Every structure is written in C-alpha cells, then in structure tokens.
C-alpha cells in the first residue's frame, strides 16, 4: 500500500523495474512512440478487451472505443493518429519528450484520469504518471488495462492510480498537470487551481484540453443544465465530493480563470476539427498558425488547448 496525493492506494501489480524512458538506451522518436501506443489500443487492445471486460466495464468503455477507427481501417487510423498528434495530447507528448531528451523524467498528474488512456500514453513517452480519479470503477478498469498492456507487450509503464479529490490536499509536486475534458467538472475549481499553483515544480505546466464553451452548439446543448451546474458525488466510502455539470469556458473565460488563480497562459490554441485530414504542408502553412490566434473567430472552434504556468509576479498574471 502506498500514499499518492494524500490517498492510500493499492499499487498496480507490475514488475519492480519500470520501463526506462526513451533516451535510456536506444531512443525511439517521440511521434513513433506516440503513434505506436495509440495504434496498439486500436489493433490489439480493442478486440481483446471487448471480449474480456466485465459487462458493466465493457458498456462504460464502449464510448472510448466508439471514438476510435476500427481495426483494419488503415486510412482512418492514419488520419486519427495525425489529428491526435496535432492536438492537445500531441502537445503534451512533445513537452514530455523534450524533458526526457534533457535527461530528466517528468512527473505527470493525469487529473480525472478515467480509463487511463492518457496516463499510459504519457508513460510510453517517458514520464512517471499518477492517474487520479474519484470513481473506483474507472480506476479498476484503468488498472486492468495497465496489466493487460504489460501482459501483451512486456513493458512495465511507470503509472500509479489513486482515488483522490484534487481540490483537497496533495502530497506530491509534479512537472505537468494534464486535465482533459475534466476542468468543466472540477468543483470547487479555484481550490483545484490553487493546488496546481502550489504543487507545480519550477518550469512545470498545467495543460488543459477541453471543449470551447463559446461554440453555439455547446451553448445550445448546455442551456438546459445552466440552472443546475453543481451536484454532489457520494463515493462508495460515503465521502461526499462536489461535482460541476459541464461548466464550460470560452477561450477568454479560460484565460480569465487562470489569471484569477495566479497562473499565466503561456500557450493557447483552438481547434476547428479535421486536424488529421489536412496534408502536412497545408496544415503547417495555414491551419497551425491560425490555431495559436485564439482571439480569431473563437465561437467557431470546437475545442481549445490552454497551457499555464505559475506567475512569479503580479504583472505576469495580467498579461
């Protein structure tokens, strides 16, 4: 039994020595490692786990599989991989790879880790990852996936899972906090961002990938929820946790909430969809420069990436 972020958690049953990060021996190119893992989830994990998961877990995990191309659809898989590399996950993976190349193994907190896809992905890139979530069923499925990955590949990824409320005390400092489709659920948000500010190591970053709350389609879908944006999740142990129901942020609101909590946005980009369809020359010359201009037509973008660091002075937060 170990303690992670103030929560006692059973460690995953893995070999004692984790897989060394890229760079410790024969180095695999970051994009190749990234695509290899994602392709494995499609071509190996999906067919096997659809059969072996218990019914309740299989039903919950079906939404993840539904977003993936089917095994054998090579053209669709290539487009999916290209789009993923150009989006939020690719940005975080490149950041991790940069730290690994410099000779350090970054510690990543996957906040709201769910089924553990990104925790395993970033461990594949060379990070040490803590996946934290409130729901035991999600963590159990994530641990099952981690064991299955080791059984099939022989790789012992440096991933630990913990049931934790990240708006409360943390017991560990980290280099990168990854929040994917979860910022809109964290409550109280200011408490969480305050913990991020206190526990980011020097040069560390908060990386948020989420929907654009200013998109008309999202505004219509969420209109019925605006009168009830806070609920309470009661964990199996009886502990109560606040939970926000799709409290989304426009690009400008995203920046404002970061600044309010002593963080400065160091990178911000929008995604209009179809990232994997454009040929590289067209993407690099046209779409990629537009992505970083978050103030241009923000209501048309479907998703956004916001990267924030800790302010070292009052002036930084006002930028």
DSSP string, 96-136: HHHHHHTT---EEEEET-TTSHHHHHHHHTT-EEEEEES-H
pLDDT at residue 114 tops 60: yes
The answer to whether 163 touches 136, Cβ cutoff 8 Å, is yes
Work out the average pLDDT over 117-136.
96
The answer to whether 95 touches 127, Cβ cutoff 8 Å, is no
Write the pLDDT tens digit of every residue in 208-255: 999 886 665 666 666 655 555 555 544 556 565 444 556 778 899 999
Write the pLDDT tens digit of every residue in 188-198: 999 999 999 99
- Tell me, what DSSP letter sits at residue 266? E
pLDDT at residue 7 tops 50: no
Higher-confidence position of 164 and 13: 164
Q: What is the pTM of this model?
A: 0.84
pLDDT at residue 148 tops 80: yes
List all residues 6 or more positions away from 300 whose beta carbon is below 8 Å from its beta carbon.
215, 272
pLDDT at residue 273 tops 90: no
- Give residue 111's pLDDT: 97
**Shortest CA distance to 99 belongs to which of 205, 208, 258, 210?**
205
- Give residue 34's pLDDT: 98
Confidence of residue 126 (pLDDT cuts 50, 70, 90): very high
Confidence of residue 108 (pLDDT cuts 50, 70, 90): very high
Percent of the chain at pLDDT > 70 equals 78
CA-to-CA dists, residue 316 to 11, 249, 319, angstroms: 40, 21, 6
89-317 is a CATH 3.40.50.620 domain: no
- Give residue 62's pLDDT: 76
**Shortest CA distance to 65 belongs to which of 84, 45, 79?**
45
- Give residue 300's pLDDT: 80
Write the pLDDT tens digit of every residue in 171-185: 899 999 999 999 988
List all residues 6 or more positions away from 94 whose beta carbon is below 8 Å from its beta carbon.
30
Query: Would you list the domain boundaries of the chain?
Result: 89-317
């Amino acid at each position: 039994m170990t303690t992670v972020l103030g929560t006692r958690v059973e460690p995953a049953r893995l070999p004692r020595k984790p897989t060394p990060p890229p760079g410790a021996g024969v180095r695999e190119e970051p994009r190749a490692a990234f695509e290899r893992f994602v392709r494995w989830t499609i071509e190996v994990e999906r067919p096997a786990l659809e059969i072996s998961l218990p019914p309740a877990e299989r039903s919950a995990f079906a939404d993840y599989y539904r977003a993936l191309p089917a095994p054998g659809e090579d053209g669709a898989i290539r487009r999916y991989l290209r789009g993923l590399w150009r989006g939020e996950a690719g940005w975080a993976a490149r950041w991790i790879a940069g730290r690994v190349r410099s000779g350090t193994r970054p510690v990543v907190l996957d906040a709201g880790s769910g089924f553990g896809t990104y925790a395993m992905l970033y461990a594949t890139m060379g990070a040490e990852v803590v996946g934290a979530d409130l729901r035991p069923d999600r963590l159990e499925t994530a641990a099952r996936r981690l064991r299955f990955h080791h059984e099939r590949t022989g790789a012992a990824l440096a991933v630990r899972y913990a049931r934790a409320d990240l708006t409360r005390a943390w017991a560990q400092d980290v280099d990168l906090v990854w929040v994917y489709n979860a910022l809109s659920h964290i409550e109280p948000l200011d408490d969480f961002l305050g913990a991020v500010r206190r526990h980011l190591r020097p040069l560390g970053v908060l990386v948020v990938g989420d929907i654009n709350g200013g998109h008309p389609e999202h505004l219509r879908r969420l209109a019925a929820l605006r009168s009830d944006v806070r609920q309470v999740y009661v964990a199996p142990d009886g502990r109560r946790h606040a939970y926000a129901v799709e409290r989304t942020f426009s690009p400008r609101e995203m920046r404002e909430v970061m600044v309010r909590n002593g963080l400065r946005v160091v990178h911000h980009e929008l995604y209009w969809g179809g990232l994997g369809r454009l040929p590289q020359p067209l993407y690099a010359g046209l779409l990629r420069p537009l992505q970083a201009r978050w103030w241009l037509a923000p209501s048309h973008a479907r998703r956004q990436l916001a990267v924030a660091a800790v302010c070292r002075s009052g002036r930084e937060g006002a930028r």
